[in-house]
Chain A
Amino acid sequence: MGCLGSLPDDFKKTMALLQIAEPGQSPQPHQRRLAVGIDLGTTNSLVAAVRSGLAEPLADDDGKVILPSAVRYHATSIEVGESAKSAAATDPFNTVLSVKRLMGRGIADVHQLGEQLPYRFVAGESHMPFIETVQGAKSPVEVSAEILKALRLRAEQTLGGELVGAVITVPAYFDDAQRQATKDAARLAGLTVLRLLNEPTAAAVAYGLDQKAEGVVAIYDLGGGTFDISILRLTGGVFEVLATGGDSALGGDDFDHAIADWIIQQAGISSDLDPATQRSLLQAACAAKEALTEADTAELSHGDWRAVLSREQFEALIEPMVARSLKACRRAVRDSGVELEEVSAVVMVGGSTRVPRVREAVGELFGRAPLTNIDPDQVVAIGAAIQADALAGNQRDDGEELLLLDVIPLSLGLETMGGLMEKVIPRNTTIPVARAQEFTTYKDGQTAMMIHVLQGERELIADCRSLARFELRGIPPMVAGAAKIRVTFQVDADGLLSVAARELSSGIESSIQVKPSYGLTDGEIARMLQDSFQNAGDDKAARVLREQQVDAQRLIEAVEGALEVDGERLLDAEEREVIELQVQELRELLAGGDGLAIERQTKRLSQVTDAFAARRLDSTVKAALAGRNLNEIEE
């Protein structure tokens, strides 16, 4: 992987040594602790921050806080947001919508999501599906990174500084691969991830602090493409998730598809549609769905065909999906160990909870009217901003310290004999968690063991998600059943898993940071990082160039300062000439815009001054040992 703007350690070392005599020559500007919360949604995304004690979403130049999660690729530029979304029907192949549904998924999963996706998929180095665009094949991670970049830029402009980091929300029901993909996207977008936070937990934080709520709360979060239900206990600033459940492929998008299918059926159109028609049908369906929130009927048309869809008909169309969500609610309540009557509030989150039938059904299940007083589109980003602010080390105004105790949504385990999944950590276990299980060899003289890591609730491994496979080698040959292999699972506060295996008698060890089977390979990430810097006109590239220029300038000044003070004393004429030549070369490059050349030359200069810097350090040390400072020596 390239240096990507940050200079190698040997450069920093050289800088430090050269600067011995000139402290304060490169004062680090004091940084404000700016941190944001980002809701990276299927349909819409938002960024929020705490400003003067208040968490609020940040608006764009037009005053809009919602950024549609739409990315359109042009030959030499990339468009994100509303304008990209409106091009979806006219430029379907190059416009990516609802990319979140593809995150951490394999090609097979994507086909299961339905044939409605208009993209041309191509296989990559990993199992991840790439989308063919005018700018080449793009992975869902890269597409998501474009959305994150746009939000990062907005935040930096609004807040007037660089971000320390961001809390990015994910559906509570996201599996390990989907979480890892989200983290990779943030990395590509140049964001430091302070924490991946579950969306319903973020909503609970925003709601709980706003209402000063205590007790057991249910968060029903139906977004564009994902559904979560979380049951939490709120006690004095502690948000303890008791259970979570959901469906990472259920959302308002499915309501649109249901209406679109209805149109296809009613209008007698062939279901084998071209992408542009598909997109325009979905847009019409979405508009009808939104209209039915207020109105009793909505008009639909397609070509010459016209019809009216009543709210009643719409509700019948979506009933199976609403029922699916309610089933997940009942399961989460059972898992939480509390009785339905103990739930003291039900909070609605996500744009799709605007659908009246959804509100009604949830109200019936919990026996109380759901709360809708915080904007369901904004509540997740606001909660994330509050946590980001706390993680960045900023004190809360009310002095109350937050504590978020979350759980894993799906059980984690290993493949055992006969293709069965053995659970090591059951779902709804509080994280962080570390748990070990011991296994043994099943053949005499067996020296290796395959460790296959799985996630899911089913017994057969074929029904679970395969997260990773690795091999523990070098087990000393023994009779079957004699070796003791301890496999340790550790899940961190982001919900990400790492696995280690160890043979206890020999101490042979093998461990991996689980790289999901459907994740990107390291090679792919490296290429994407490089692409993102090479992209002309890209803000990140410009910033990197600026950093490279600043670094080069600093080094030139440090070298010249050092030459002036110690050049005569510590260098012979030839050595001095070599250094001066390299300084001159770097100075000439500085004016140009070739960041890579500047970086290369900076590195070269740093190398040729290495010995000089070391000599200066030696003489400083000697001076210090002699109880005198550098100035005295120079005198």
Chain B
Amino acid sequence: MGNPCHFALFDLQPSFRLDLDQLAARYRELARQVHPDRFADAGEREQRLALERSACLNEAYQILKTPSQRARYLLAMRGPELPLEVTVQDPDFLLQQMQLREELEELQDDADLAGVAAFKRRLKTAQEALNERFAACWDDDARREEAERLMRRMQFLDKLSHEVRQLEERLDD
């Protein structure tokens, strides 16, 4: 990454469990210091620097506040660079994913808004459970493989919730 660690930027110890309110408060504090608006008067070089620092801060905040991105970042900090796309060896989970997607298609065909809402609640519960499992194992080198698998699962569920959003939009038409 080249840049100082995202956690250090926010005065935090690397950890999966984060107080998001505290993170947000610290973000606002830092943003005040580096935002280009503070340098509207300054020279071109300083403006350029403010723009870059601000962009870095926003990127770090984005990564830390999103569980799947935070998980990925933590694993990358501790081990080898993680490829973005890999063949996932996780048959049970993939089967479950296919079933969930089929379910989603049915909800679309029936334009079942209440069903979508219930689906979203289930998805959220599943995401929270995954987060808990990841939090328990990410910093144990002996369980690295498990942690990586859980992180990939998080990414899958992120994609699924994105699809739910798109479905909601289509049903809104």
A393 within 8 A of partner (CB): yes
Min C-beta distance of B105 to chain A, whole Å? 18
Closest to A431 in B: B58
Closest to B51 in A: A432
Q: Which of A387, A401, A402, A434 contacts B52 (CB 8 A)?
A: A434
Known interface pairs A432-B51, A434-B55, A490-B55; A393-B40 also in contact (CB < 8 Å): yes
8 Å CB contacts to B: which residues of A492-517?
Answer: 492-493
Query: What total count of A-B pairs have CB within 8 Å?
Result: 64
Contact A327 B37 (CB under 8 A): no
Contact B55 A405 (CB under 8 A): no
* Chain A residues with a Cβ closer than 8 Å to the other chain, count: 30
B110 within 8 A of partner (CB): no
Min C-beta distance of B4 to chain A, whole Å? 16
B122 within 8 A of partner (CB): no
Q: Which of B31, B40, B58 contacts A433 (CB 8 A)?
A: B58
How far does the alpha carbon of A235 sit from the alpha carbon of B28 in the complex, in Å? Answer: 9
Contact A403 B36 (CB under 8 A): no
Binary per-residue interface labels of chain A (417-435) against chain B in the complex, 1 for a CB within 8 Å, 0 otherwise: 0000000000001111111
Min C-beta distance of B11 to chain A, whole Å? 18
Q: Which of A195, A238, A490 contacts B28 (CB 8 A)?
A: A238
B81 within 8 A of partner (CB): no
Contact A493 B169 (CB under 8 A): no
Contact B37 A404 (CB under 8 A): yes
Tier of interface size on chain B = 20 to 34
8 Å CB contacts to A: which residues of B32-64?
Answer: 32, 35-37, 40-41, 51-52, 54-56, 58-59, 61-62
| Cβ–Cβ < 8 Å partners of B31 in chain A | 238, 403, 405
| Cβ–Cβ < 8 Å partners of A433 in chain B | 55, 58-59
Binary per-residue interface labels of chain A (231-242) against chain B in the complex, 1 for a CB within 8 Å, 0 otherwise: 000011010100
Min C-beta distance of A501 to chain B, whole Å? 18
How far does the alpha carbon of A434 sit from the alpha carbon of B54 in the complex, in Å? Answer: 9
A391 within 8 A of partner (CB): yes
A154 within 8 A of partner (CB): no
Q: Which of A236, A334, A493 contacts B35 (CB 8 A)?
A: A493
| Cβ–Cβ < 8 Å partners of B41 in chain A | 391-393
Contact B168 A493 (CB under 8 A): no
B78 within 8 A of partner (CB): no
8 Å CB contacts to A: which residues of B84-105?
Answer: none
Contact B28 A432 (CB under 8 A): no
Closest to B173 in A: A327
Contact A334 B168 (CB under 8 A): yes
How far does the alpha carbon of A236 sit from the alpha carbon of B32 in the complex, in Å? Answer: 12
Contact B40 A391 (CB under 8 A): yes
Contact B32 A403 (CB under 8 A): yes
Min C-beta distance of A61 to chain B, whole Å? 31
8 Å CB contacts to B: which residues of A428-467?
Answer: 429-435
| Cβ–Cβ < 8 Å partners of B54 in chain A | 432, 493
| Cβ–Cβ < 8 Å partners of B37 in chain A | 195, 387, 390-391, 402-404, 493
From B28, B62, B165, name the one whose CB has the most chain A CB atoms within 10 angstroms.
B28
Q: Which of A236, A401, A430, A432 contacts B36 (CB 8 A)?
A: A432
How far does the alpha carbon of A206 sit from the alpha carbon of B51 in the complex, in Å? Answer: 25
B172 within 8 A of partner (CB): yes
How far does the alpha carbon of A493 sit from the alpha carbon of B173 in the complex, in Å? Answer: 33
Min C-beta distance of A499 to chain B, whole Å? 14
Known interface pairs A238-B28, A334-B165; A493-B172 also in contact (CB < 8 Å): no
Contact A403 B35 (CB under 8 A): yes
A546 within 8 A of partner (CB): no
Closest to A240 in B: B28
| Cβ–Cβ < 8 Å partners of A435 in chain B | 59
A330 within 8 A of partner (CB): yes
Contact A194 B40 (CB under 8 A): yes
How far does the alpha carbon of A435 sit from the alpha carbon of B55 in the complex, in Å? Answer: 9
How far does the alpha carbon of A16 sit from the alpha carbon of B58 in the complex, in Å? Answer: 43
Q: Which of A236, A331, A387, A404 contacts B169 (CB 8 A)?
A: A331
Contact B51 A492 (CB under 8 A): yes
| Cβ–Cβ < 8 Å partners of A390 in chain B | 37
Q: Which of B32, B40, B62, B172 contacts A429 (CB 8 A)?
A: B62
How far does the alpha carbon of A390 sit from the alpha carbon of B35 in the complex, in Å? Answer: 13
| Cβ–Cβ < 8 Å partners of B168 in chain A | 334
Contact B32 A401 (CB under 8 A): yes
Q: What would 20 more interface pairs be, CB under 8 Å, given A390-B37, A430-B61?
A: A195-B40, A238-B31, A391-B41, A392-B40, A402-B37, A403-B28, A403-B31, A403-B32, A405-B31, A405-B35, A429-B58, A429-B62, A430-B62, A431-B58, A432-B54, A433-B59, A435-B59, A490-B51, A490-B55, A492-B36
B interface with A by C-beta (< 8 Å): 28, 31-32, 35-37, 40-41, 51-52, 54-56, 58-59, 61-62, 165, 168-169, 172-173
A interface with B by C-beta (< 8 Å): 194-195, 235-236, 238, 240, 327, 330-331, 334, 387, 390-393, 401-405, 429-435, 490, 492-493
For the complex of A and B, 6 pairs with smallest distance between CB atoms: A434-B55, A391-B40, A493-B36, A432-B55, A432-B54, A430-B58
Interface pairs (15), CB distance under 8 Å: A238-B28, A327-B172, A334-B165, A334-B168, A391-B40, A393-B41, A402-B37, A403-B32, A403-B37, A430-B61, A432-B36, A432-B58, A434-B52, A434-B55, A435-B59
